[in-house]
Each structure stands twice: as structure tokens, then as C-alpha cells.
């Protein structure tokens, strides 16, 4: 039985790794040696690779490639990882400072010019003001439409999609970065009803991604020394750092940045990453702080502290009574309603825009068509008064605004924000949200002051709560938004109130529709996995989910022509590879990715004449493994771009060295909800649905995964989930003793 077991084990282990030159099935001494050799090299390859995950590229050839690198490379890798975290922080920090500097200075000049002209002629001043704004906005529109179309909008849905596992073309290019920065300056400086926070998140992500690939490919700015992040996971980690840096820079909220990246953006999270993300955020905070203190000496023109949202109400309301909780809850309800309405209206408008463009049959480019829309709207946009908005936030001002003017402003700005949304400029929704929210918050505050006269009620606090409620009702963020609001206001005292308001507004909003980013992502066709599976998935098995589908498999050794025809005939991104054993059995030996097949077809070096397994040893030398890494900045190769001669099509390819030998599998009748959780929590892209297994080789429990070293743990009572670690000797004894007593028992112990 034991030898059976061993034989079985060796056979399967051999399947991929050791069935090398002869393709024979006997486990002779030569084959065993071969296997050991291969394993030794594998072990060597694995040493010290602290977080290079093999999920994306975990084939034999890549492991060999890694093995050749050695320890020095690993240390270098760790150093570069932290260096990049530092650089992302510095880069994003300076980008934020630059954008703010530019916007503030443009605004300053604009007001100075308007003011000096308005002394002579009111109309001329108005005209100049409009012209300057028009110029700024058009420069932004021009940049987006002609140079960097991917830089339009907030960018957060796309980044969210990227981190969720979906690349939108062009979002992380160098030109997008430049377009985002200068586009933001134009649109925000031009006084549109939008902010620069979303764009800063996108900017951070772009910087991170560009660093990750060692610079821009197109502009020949790449350095070989920095191109060490070959796995998608490493890239995603960098982009996560970039996101956090963006939020940290936009709001000067390092903790909020980390939480934003954690809650809103990434779909999976590792605690190792958290610390690096936090480091990046702190670097941003230092950079912005030092830049601002340098500007205090007056070297930055019109730049004040207004550019960075710090809405300090530490001098405001310190205490609150229980009576006030009711109006605050009302603010939450209003926020939920207005936020949900905002999401719905922006959805309709974006859909209407699309169908309108479709009906006109205009084949003009999508973004260019939007360009025209700007003309119509431009005249309305420029009436918003930056000054009025800024004063809204002030804390110590009672009755500065009449209810009528606030209401008018609310309606106007709300409509403007909806119309501006989704146009061809980099647009953040935070600042408009804060403005809308603080307006009605202040309105409620005014009523509270009227009704509860004796209380130390502060309208500014209500404005803050209003802002939180609208953002909560629209974006549906919770913890991160809370922390961002606290960091903006620099007042921890209000945290419970902000939470209350967010709780209410999110609940009300969730009743009507989904969050803004989710809806946007859906509209743009970015498939985001929500945090929990849909209801129907609980009642569906994995098999039912892929019932209609025909699985296209490859044999281990395939003709090149067959690969080409399969790749042409469908768009699958991964294919199971099966091996046909001599006894007629088939065995699934792994998963091969379309992208890797394309690389193999293009390089041609692995083609062989014989339809028999190849010699694995030369494989890793034949390849430059950065080929296997999908470039972040392109759409990847396509089968149409690859040209093969007729004689090449007749050759064979052994897929064994290039497949992922152990993809994740689920039994056919696992509920789809469970599969969903696997996908989300592990960040998977493919999973195999397989038949129920015929036997269980082993059972792994937590105990098996722990290094056992505590020898005196028996002194302590412990109810472990598994105390299976009593070694085989005991089990053998048990078997010998009990078999005679209970003859039926032997049938329960499966003979392996």
C-alpha cells in the first residue's frame, strides 16, 4: 500500500517536472535524480523572494529564471520597493503642490486683472474674466481631447478597476499623467464646478505605474535597473501606494489616504502592503508641508494656504447636546437623498449624452463630441464665485448668508455639478460634494440656531456635517471618508457626529442605488467585483455558472497551427492544459495564459520538430522574461499581429514549462457565492471547475501550517481546531490494534 502510494506520488510529481527527455513513465534512478536536480534548482530559486508572488507567472521557466538571479538581486528588489514608495510619495506630493501653485496663481492673476479693469468698465472686467476662464478651460479640453483622452473625468473608477483586475486602456500612460496634471490646472483654474482630488489620485497612480515599469516606454525614458517589477501584483501594490499618496496629497490626510486605498480602491489587501502605503502617505505629508512652509516666505506668487483643503474648525463648536442629534440625522437623510439623486441624474445624463451622440450618428471621436458641448455650457459655468464658496466654510460667522441665497446657490451648484460631471476634463467630485453638502448643512444649521436658541450651535459645524453627508450619500465611503473629514477639519471631537451623519446618509443612499464610482465603473464597462456576492449566487453551483460554456483545452504538446486557430477562434484568456497518459487517462496539468502563448508564438524559439516533450533545462535560457510581463501601457499583443510561416505552423510546442502547474480549483457543486469570495479575496482571474474528486489524498489543517517548536505547550489547556499532529507511528498502532476489533473500520480507512 505504501509503495503504491509512493509510486502514485512520484508519478504525479514527475508529470510536469521530471518527465523530461525520454517521456517514459518508470521511476528509475536516473529519472529520480533528474527530479531531485530540478527540485534543488527550484528551491534555490525560491530563496528569499519575500513577496514576489507566483500567482501571475509561476511556470517552470520563470522559476528557473528567478533562480539565476541570486540573493543580491533579492536585496536589491526590497531596496527598490521602498525606494519606489519614497519616490511615489515625493512625486505625488510635488505634483499636488505644482497643481495648487498653478491654480492659485492663475486665480490670483485672474482676479487681479478683472479687478483692475472693473475699475474702468464693469462690462470689460466681466468679459476679461470670462475670457480668462474660457481660455483656461479650453486649454484643459484641448489637452484632453488631442493629447490624453484617458485623463478625462475623475479617474478613480478606472484605478479601482485596475486594482480590481481590469485594465482600461491608456489610463496609466505618461501622456495621461501629463494631461491629468495640466488638464486639472485648466479646469479647476477655470472655475468649473469640480475639484482636483480625483485627478490627484489618478496622478499618484500614474506616477506609481510609470516607476513600476521603469519609466515611459514610448519616450525612451526606461531604465533597465528599475524594471524589476515583473508581476502584476507588484505593479498593483505600487498603484495602491500611488492612490493613497493622491488622497494624502489632495486632503493632506495621510491616514485618510491609507484608508481610502484600503476601503475604496483595492479589492484585496495584505498587511505587508499597508505599512508601505502608509510610508508613502507620510512622505507626501512631509513634502507638502515643507513646500508650503517654503511658500510662506512669499516665493510662490499668489499661493496661499487655500489651495489645500484644510478646513480648520478647531475654534468651532466644542460640545453638542442630545437635542442636536435630530437635525444632524436630518442632514444625514438629506445627504442620502441628494447623493442618490446625484448619482441617478449623472447616470441619466451620461446615458443621454451617449444615445444622443449615437442618434446623430456622429462618428467623431467620443471625447471630441463632448468638446462641443462645452461651448454651450461654458457661459453658465463661469458665474460661480470662488470667493462665495470659500466663505461658506467659515466657522465663526453667524447669519452671514440668508437662507434664500444659500438655497439658490444650492440649486444652481447642484445642477452645475451634475452637468459638468463626465465632461472631457479631469474632474474630482470631492470639492463639488463638499460645496453642495456644506450649503444645505448650513441651511439646517440656521434653522437649528433659530429653534434651539440657547444652545452653543455653530453653523460651520453643520456645514461640515452636511458636506460629510453628501459625500457619504453619493460616494458611499465610510471609514476613509470619516477620517478624511477629521483630518481636513483637524478636529477629532466631531468624529462621532460625522459618523452618525455618514451612517444615516449611506443607509438612505444605499436604499436607492449604488455608489457614484460603482455606477460610473459600470457605465464604462469596467467589471468591478462588489464586496459581497449577489443573492442568486448562493443558490447556484459553480457548475451551473459555466454550464453554457465549452471548455477549450490544449494538450501538453500541441501543433503551432492549432494554437493559432484556437487563439483566433475565441477570446479566452486562459486555457486548461491536459496530458494524455499512456493508459488512456487524461490529467489536467495546468493553466496556460493567452498572453504567454502569444509571447511563445512570437519568439518562436521554443518550436520543435518532434511531438514529444522537450528538454526543460534549456528553456529558461532561451527567454527574456520581461517578454512575459504584460506591459502596463499597452493593450497587449494580439494574435492578428503575429505572422507565422507555413513551415512554422507545422512545428510543435511543449507547453509544460510555461503553464501554471497548480491553478485554483473548485468542485463542481460549490456554491457560486463561495467561488465569488475566493475570487475577491485572492484576487484571482481564472478558476477551474472540476468534477468531485474520487479520493482525498490528505487533509491540511492549521496545525500543519505552523512550525511546531513549543515542546511544553502541553502544560496549557488548549482546544485547538485540529490536534492532528500526532505522528504516523501512533496512527499505525491504532490501526493494528483496532482492526481486529472492528472489521468494518478497515473499509473506512481508504487504502491509498
Instruction: Tell me the pairing of strands 574-580 and 557-559.
Output: unpaired
Enumerate residues 6+ apart whose C-beta is below 8 A from 158.
Answer: 150, 168, 171, 202, 521, 524, 526
Residue from the set 282, 347, 475, 616 that interacts with its own copies by CB under 8 A: 282
Phi, psi of 363 (to 5 degrees): -95, 5
Q: What is the DSSP letter of 654?
A: E
Among 224, 582, 624, 748, binds its own copies (CB under 8 A): 748
Neighbour-count burial for 167-190, b at 16+ CB within 10 Å, e otherwise: bbebbbbbbbbbbbbbbbbbbbbb
9 binds its own copies, rule: CB under 8 A: yes
Single out the residue of 537, 567, 629, 653 in contact with its own copies (rule: CB under 8 A): 537
**Out of 404, 531, 609, 646, which residue is the one contacting its own copies (CB under 8 A)?**
531
Range 62-101, binding its own copies (CB under 8 A): none
Q: Which residue, 499, 496, 381, is CA-closest to 140?
A: 381
DSSP annotation of 172 reads: T
Output the smallest distance, CB 412 to its own copies, in A: 31
Contact between 323 and its own copies by CB under 8 A: the answer reads no
Residue 220 or 727: the one with the smaller Cβ distance to its own copies is 727
Q: Which is nearer to its own copies, 299 or 571 (CB)?
A: 571
Residue from 71, 396, 450, 532 touching its own copies (CB under 8 A): that is: 532
User: In terms of CB distance, is 57 or 526 closer to its own copies?
Assistant: 526
* Rounded least distance, CB 548 to its own copies, Å: 5
| By CB under 8 A, residue 740 contacts its own copies | no
Q: Which of 42, 222, 302, 353 binds its own copies (CB under 8 A)?
A: 42
Show Cβ contacts of residue 45 under 8 Å, excluding neighbours closer than 6 positions. 63, 64, 66, 67
Name 634's Cβ contacts closer than 8 Å, sequence gap at least 6: 217
What is the C-alpha R_g of the chain? 31
Query: Minimal distance in Å, beta carbon 272 to its own copies?
Result: 6
Q: Which stretch binds its own copies (CB under 8 A): 93-101, 139-147, 187-195, 587-595?
A: 587-595
Residues numbered 398 to 417 that lie near its own copies (CB under 8 A) are none
For residue 385, state whether it binds its own copies (rule: CB under 8 A): no
Asked whether position 576 contacts its own copies by CB under 8 A, the answer is yes
DSSP state of 529: P
Number of residues lying near its own copies (CB under 8 A): 185
- Neighbour count for residue 110 (Cβ, 10 Å): 22
**Cβ atoms 618, 21 nearer than 8 A:** no
**Interface with its own copies includes 553 (CB under 8 A)?**
yes
Among 117, 380, 407, 479, binds its own copies (CB under 8 A): 479
Q: Which stretch binds its own copies (CB under 8 A): 132-140, 236-244, 441-449, 490-498?
A: 490-498
604 binds its own copies (CB under 8 A): no
Q: Least distance to its own copies from the beta carbon of 16, Å?
A: 8
- Is the Cβ of residue 392 or residue 499 nearer to its own copies in the bound state? 499
Binding residues among 290-319 for its own copies as defined by CB under 8 A: 293, 319
12-20, 381-389, 462-470, 509-517 -> range binding its own copies (CB under 8 A): 12-20
Could you give the CA distance from residue 384 to residue 416 in angstroms, rounded to a whole number? 9
* Residue list 684-713, contact with its own copies (CB under 8 A): 685-707, 709-710, 712-713
Q: What does the H/E/C string look like for 560-577? A: HHHHHHHHHHCCCCEEEE
* Closest distance to its own copies from the beta carbon of 185 (Å): 26
513 binds its own copies (CB under 8 A): no
- What cell was used for 142? 484641448
Indicate the residue among 458 and 518 with the shorter CB distance to its own copies. Answer: 518
Q: Which is nearer to its own copies, 110 or 654 (CB)?
A: 654
Structure-derived torsion over alpha carbons of residues 581, 586, 587, 589, reported in degrees to the nearest 10:
80
Q: Among residues 13 and 128, whose Cβ is nearest to its own copies? A: 13
Minimum CB distance to its own copies, residue 414 (Å): 26
CA distance 190 to 302: 16
Residues 554-573 close enough to bind its own copies by CB under 8 A: 554-555, 558-559, 561-562, 565-566, 569-573
**String marking each residue 648-667 x if it binds its own copies according to CB under 8 A:** -------------xx-xxxx
Beta carbon nearer to its own copies, 283 or 639: 283
Provide DSSP, 378-444.
HHHHTT--HHHHHHHT-SS-SS-S-HHHHHHHHHHHHHHHHHHTTSSSB-BSHHHHHHHHHHHHHHH
Block residue for cell numbers 450651535: 457
State residue 250 phi and psi, 5-degree precision. Answer: -65, -40
Q: Which long-range contacts (CB under 8 A, 24 or more apart) does 635-643 make?
A: 635/169, 636/595, 636/598, 637/595, 637/598, 637/599, 637/602, 638/598, 639/564, 639/567, 639/568, 639/598, 639/601, 640/568, 642/564, 642/598, 642/601, 642/602
Residue 191 binds to its own copies (criterion: CB under 8 A)? no
Contact criterion met (CB below 8 Å) for 587 and 578: yes
> Is the CB of 274 or the CB of 377 nearer to its own copies?
274
**Rule CB under 8 A: which of 140-169 touch its own copies?**
165-169
**How many C-beta neighbours within 10 Å does residue 278 have?**
19
Burial class (CB in 10 A: 0-12, 13-18, 19+), 573: exposed
CB of 239 to its own copies, least distance (A): 16
Determine contact, residues 564/639, Cβ cutoff 8 Å: yes
**One of 323, 539, 610, 621 touching its own copies (CB under 8 A):** 539
Query: Collapsing DSSP states into helix, strand and coil, what is residue 214?
Result: coil
Q: Pick left, alpha or beta for residue 399 (phi over 0 → left; psi -120 to 50 → alpha; otherwise beta).
A: left
Phi, psi of 625 (to 5 degrees): -75, -10
Considering beta carbons, is residue 113 or 528 the nearer one to its own copies? 528
Q: Which of 136, 285, 300, 659 binds its own copies (CB under 8 A)?
A: 285
Q: Give the nearer residue to its own copies in terms of CB position, either 189 or 576.
A: 576
Q: Which of 279, 303, 381, 628 binds its own copies (CB under 8 A)?
A: 279
If one asks whether residue 503 binds its own copies (CB under 8 A), the answer comes out as yes
Does the footprint of its own copies cover residue 359 (CB under 8 A)? no
Name the segment binding its own copies (CB under 8 A); options: 235-243, 395-403, 478-486, 617-625. 478-486
Q: Does residue 588 belong to the site contacting its own copies (CB under 8 A)?
A: yes
Amino acid at each position: 500500500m505504501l509503495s503504491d502510494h509512493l509510486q502514485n506520488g512520484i508519478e504525479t510529481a514527475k508529470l510536469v517536472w521530471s518527465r523530461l527527455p525520454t517521456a517514459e513513465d518508470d521511476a528509475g534512478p536516473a529519472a529520480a535524480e533528474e527530479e531531485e536536480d530540478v527540485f534543488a534548482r527550484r528551491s534555490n530559486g525560491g530563496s528569499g523572494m519575500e513577496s514576489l508572488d507566483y500567482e501571475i507567472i509561476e511556470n517552470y521557466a520563470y522559476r528557473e529564471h528567478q533562480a539565476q538571479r541570486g540573493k543580491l538581486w533579492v536585496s536589491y528588489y526590497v531596496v527598490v520597493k521602498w525606494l519606489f514608495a519614497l519616490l511615489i510619495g515625493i512625486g505625488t506630493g510635488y505634483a499636488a503642490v505644482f497643481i495648487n501653485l498653478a491654480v492659485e496663481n492663475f486665480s490670483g492673476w485672474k482676479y487681479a486683472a478683472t479687478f483692475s479693469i472693473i475699475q474702468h468698465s464693469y462690462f470689460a472686467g466681466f468679459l476679461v474674466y470670462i475670457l480668462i476662464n474660457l481660455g483656461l478651460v479650453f486649454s484643459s479640453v484641448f489637452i484632453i481631447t488631442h493629447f490624453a483622452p484617458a485623463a478625462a473625468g475623475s479617474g478613480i473608477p478606472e484605478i479601482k478597476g485596475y486594482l480590481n483586475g481590469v485594465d482600461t486602456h491608456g489610463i496609466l500612460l505618461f501622456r495621461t499623467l501629463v494631461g491629468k496634471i495640466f488638464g486639472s490646472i485648466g479646469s479647476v483654474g477655470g472655475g468649473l464646478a469640480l475639484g482636483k482630488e480625483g485627478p490627484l489620485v489618478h496622478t499618484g497612480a500614474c506616477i506609481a505605474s510609470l516607476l513600476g515599469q521603469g519609466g515611459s516606454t514610448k519616450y525612451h525614458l526606461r531604465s533597465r535597473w528599475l524594471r524589476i517589477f515583473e508581476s502584476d501584483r507588484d505593479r498593483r501594490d505600487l498603484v495602491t501606494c500611488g492612490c493613497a499618496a493622491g488622497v494624502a496629497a489632495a486632503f493632506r490626510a495621510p491616514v485618510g489616504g491609507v484608508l481610502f486605498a484600503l476601503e475604496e480602491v483595492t479589492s484585496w489587501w495584505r498587511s505587508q502592503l499597508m505599512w508601505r502605503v502608509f510610508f508613502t502617505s507620510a512622505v507626501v505629508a512631509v513634502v507638502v508641508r515643507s513646500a508650503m512652509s517654503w511658500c510662506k516666505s512669499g516665493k510662490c506668487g499668489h499661493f496661499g494656504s487655500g489651495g489645500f483643503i484644510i478646513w480648520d474648525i478647531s475654534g468651532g463648536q466644542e460640545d453638542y447636546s442630545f437635542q442636536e442629534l435630530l437635525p444632524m440625522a436630518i442632514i444625514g437623510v438629506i445627504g442620502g437623498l441628494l447623493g442618490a439623486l446625484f448619482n441617478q441624474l449623472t447616470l441619466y445624463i451620461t446615458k443621454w449624452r451617449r444615445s444622443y451622440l449615437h442618434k446623430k450618428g456622429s462618428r467623431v471621436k467620443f471625447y471630441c463630441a463632448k468638446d462641443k458641448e462645452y461651448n454651450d455650457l461654458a457661459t453658465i459655468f463661469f458665474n460661480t464665485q470662488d470667493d462665495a464658496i470659500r466663505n461658506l466654510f467659515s466657522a465663526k460667522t453667524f447669519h452671514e448668508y440668508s437662507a434664500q441665497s444659500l438655497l439658490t446657490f444650492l440649486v444652481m451648484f447642484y445642477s452645475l455639478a451634475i452637468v459638468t460631471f463626465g465632461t472631457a476634463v479631469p474632474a474630482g467630485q470631492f470639492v463639488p460634494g463638499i460645496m453642495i453638502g456644506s450649503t444645505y448643512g448650513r441651511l439646517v444649521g440656521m434653522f437649528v440656531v433659530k429653534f434651539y436658541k440657547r444652545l452653543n450651535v455653530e453653523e460651520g459645524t453643520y456645514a461640515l456635517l452636511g458636506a460629510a453627508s453628501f459625500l457619504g450619500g453619493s460616494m458611499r465611503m465610510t471609514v476613509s471618508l470619516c477620517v478624511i473629514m477629521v483630518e481636513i477639519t483637524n478636529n477629532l471631537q466631531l468624529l462621532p457626529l460625522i459618523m452618525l451623519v455618514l451612517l444615516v446618509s449611506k443607509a438612505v443612499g444605499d436604499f436607492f442605488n449604488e455608489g457614484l464610482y460603482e455606477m460610473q465603473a459600470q457605465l464604462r464597462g469596467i467589471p468591478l467585483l462588489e464586496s459581497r456576492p449577489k443573492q442568486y449566487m448562493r443558490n447556484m453551483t459553480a457548475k451551473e455558472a459555466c454550464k453554457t460554456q465549452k471548455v477549450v483545452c490544449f494538450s501538453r504538446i500541441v501543433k503551432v497551427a492549432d494554437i493559432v486557430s484556437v487563439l483566433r477562434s475565441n477570446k479566452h484568456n486562459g486555457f486548461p492544459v491536459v496530458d494524455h497518459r499512456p493508459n488512456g487517462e487524461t490529467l489536467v496539468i495546468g493553466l496556460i495564459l493567452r498572453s504567454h502563448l502569444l509571447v511563445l508564438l512570437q519568439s518562436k524559439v521554443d518550436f520543435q520538430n518532434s511531438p514529444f516533450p522537450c528538454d526543460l533545462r534549456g528553456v529558461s535560457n532561451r527567454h527574456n522574461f520581461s517578454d512575459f510581463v504584460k506591459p502596463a501601457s499597452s493593450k497587449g499583443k494580439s494574435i492578428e499581429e503575429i505572422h507565422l510561416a507555413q513551415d512554422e505552423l507545422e512545428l510543435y510546442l511543449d507547453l509544460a514549462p510555461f503553464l501554471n502547474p497548480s491553478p485554483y480549483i473548485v468542485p463542481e457543486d460549490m456554491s457560486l457565492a463561495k467561488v465569488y469570495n475566493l475570487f475577491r479575496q485572492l484576487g484571482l482571474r481564472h478558476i477551474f471547475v472540476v468534477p468531485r474528486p474520487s479520493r482525498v489524498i490528505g487533509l491540511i489543517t492549521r496545525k500543519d501550517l505552523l512550525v511546531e517548536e513549543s515542546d511544553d505547550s502541553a502544560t496549557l489547556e488548549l482546544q485547538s481546531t485540529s490536534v492532528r499532529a500526532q505522528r504516523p507511528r501512533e496512527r499505525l498502532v491504532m490501526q493494528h490494534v483496532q482492526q481486529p476489533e472492528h472489521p468494518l473500520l478497515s473499509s473506512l480507512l481508504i487504502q491509498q
